[in-house]
Amino acid sequence: MVVGDFPIELDTLIVGAGPGGYVAAIRAAQTGQKVTVVEKGTIGGVCLNVGCIPSKALIQAGHRVEYAHGEDSMGIKSEKVSIDFGKMQEWKNSVVKKLTGGVEGLLKGNKVDIVSGEVYFVDKNTAKVMDEKNSQTYTFKNCVIATGSTPIELPTFKYTDRVIDSTGALNLEEIPNKLVVIGGGYVGTELGTAYANLGTEVTILEGLDDILNGFESQMSALVKKKLKKKGATIVTKAMAKGVEETKDGVTVKYEVDGKEETVEADYVLVTVGRRPNTSEIGLEQVGIELDDKGLVKIDEQCRTTVDNIYAIGDIVAGPPLAHKASYEGKIAAEAIAGETSVIDYNAIPAVVFSDPELASVGFTEQQAKDAGYDVKASKFPFAANGRALSLNDSEGFIKLITRKEDGLLIGGQIAGPNASDMVAEIGLAIEAGMTAEDLALTIHAHPTLGEITMEAAEVAMGTPIHITK
């Protein structure tokens, strides 16, 4: 410890400056709290630096390459498409830099102190922040822990230059000729799609019966169809066994139906989930309890088993989504300020930036039935929408889940172009307690993809205009 380590007194300490932590810090400062946020890496956390933002930039670049190849049915042909991957990576990194710089500016603009270092809790009101040279003690009235998660490393697939996680996949220096992806969840599917659009021969190995297991099979089937059209190979019920690394690539061993197979590639990307960052920060020192999955136990205000310490994001139960962490950050900050805010996950959307995009909010049809609701599922296809046809991108559908008794909207799923943006209207309708009639009576601009939501609502009411009953 440095001589003269006099404790710095705070109202609120935020541990982690990702999409949960920095939002909690800003909201806490807005309520008049004296706030310090501690981040051991880069402001913005995984999402802004090596997750949500750079992956979407790379996905968009892949789409641009796909478009540049032309579309024969539209009379557009291209002889050759040139890709400067180094410049593409520079552009992707510039997007990240703008956003992380913006977040730092927002924190400073709200008078939040930013400290670099790692936190270790001494007791429920004291923590040490350490960097390579120094240690500083902080005392606080309240604390929000938002330390996020880390990619799981398989024992038989230790990370190297050729065995990579999502961060490595986002920062490759060249476009691989061949890429094996272990895990067909949203990260593996998104990055696999991005590289397939850039010309990589992609193989996805998924241990379960299907990729994108959290979505309905009708939705994931559309993604599989598009991936195969891009030249990708998808192997389900495949158990990855190990990898042999050479100077120029890898050979991945996997087992299907009791038979061992191999596939060669330049790299193997491992995307089999994430683990919460809850070790080595002194939680046990404070008495904060974890569940059997290693996640921090919280109440409806994100309060842990220690009443002045809160936890949000990937270290608590629920899907590891950036927008969930941000939402919880606001709830925790407001709870500290004495407000009555409580978490309500009923309308948290899940989105995959696949091709086509998938989005879901509220109940699926099966989840609603399992919960005891008597529901109606109403679908409308993108193929019957003028805007989708003019985009030459008309595969997919919207499905609304409504209660039969009163038409109350309790869920919705979208598979199709711009699903990630369109799902917000359905989420708002669920949050506001709207019915199918409310959506159907809302005038939507024509021709737009948004009309599909209105048309699906008309199906729910039994009065569809642009498809026959």
The catalytic residues are: 446
SS3 for 102? helix
193 is in an annotated binding site: no
Of 192, 234, 202, 201, the residue nearest 55 (C-alpha): 192
Output the six-digit token pair for 29.
């400062």
CA distance 278 to 295: 8
Give the residue from 143, 153, 157, 151 showing the smallest Cα distance to 314. 151
Answer yes or no: is 300 a known binding residue. no
Contact 340, 328 (CB under 8 A): no
Residue 78 CA, chain-centre distance (Å), reads 34
SS3 205: strand
Backbone angles phi, psi at 348, to 5 degrees: -85, 120
- In 216-364, the DSSP E strands lie at 233-236, 238-245, 250-256, 259-265, 267-270, 274-276, 309-311, 350-352, 358-362
Asked whether residue 183 is marked as a ligand-binding residue, the answer is yes
Longest pairwise C-alpha distance within the chain:
79
Q: Is 190 one of the annotated binding-site residues?
A: yes
242 known ligand binder: no
| Angle formed by the axes of helices 186-197 and 217-229, nearest 10° | 30
The answer to the question of whether 129 is labelled as a binding residue is: no
Tell whether residue 313 is among the known ligand binding residues.
Answer: no
Give CA–CA dist 414/464, Å, rounded.
18
Binding site annotation covers 206?
yes
Other Cβ atoms closer than 10 A to 76: 12
Asked whether residue 372 is marked as a ligand-binding residue, the answer is no
Helix (H, G, I), strand (E, B) or coil at 469: coil
Q: Kindly list the distances between the CA atom of residue 458 and the CA atoms of 321, 435, 468, in Å, as whole numbers in the listed order.
A: 32, 11, 11
What does the alpha-carbon distance between residue 445 and residue 442 come to, in Å, rounded to a whole number? 10
Q: Summarize the annotated binding site as residue ranges.
A: 56, 147-149, 183-190, 206, 273, 314
Q: Summarize the annotated binding site for NAD(+) as residue ranges.
A: 183-190, 206, 273
Q: Summarize the annotated binding site for FAD as residue ranges.
A: 56, 147-149, 314
